Amino acid sequence: SQQGEEDPQALSIQEGENATMNCSYKTSINNLQWYRQNSGRGLVHLILIRSNEREKHSGRLRVTLDTSKKSSSLLITASRAADTASYFCAPGSARQLTFGSGTQLTVLP
């Protein structure tokens, strides 16, 4: 099954800084989604980027997709303590929605 691998596994930054997380995958995709999980909670959808798109913005989030390199990045600008969470990418194949181990982001006040 298609599964994204997020990098780094953990990231710690100061409030106000930007945070960048990367995702690599192995096979062709229709889209790629990013999700966020606060500790002990369900996942919340952040953004979906289709395979024919290269960049997408949503508020303080910027996602890029490079299908030739089979990689995506999630940039969170002007981070806040409330952004502390785990972030997962989900490369979209035809039938399944699968996830990697995530990036644990800690934003220090």
Residues near another protein (CB under 8 A): 1, 30-31, 33, 35, 40-45, 48, 88, 90, 92-102
User: Which residues sit opposite 58 in a β-bridge?
Assistant: 61
What is the number of other CB atoms lying within 10 angstroms of the CB of residue 46?
18
Give the nearer residue to another protein in terms of CB position, either 19 or 100.
100
Give the nearer residue to another protein in terms of CB position, either 40 or 109.
40
Give the nearer residue to another protein in terms of CB position, either 73 or 98.
98
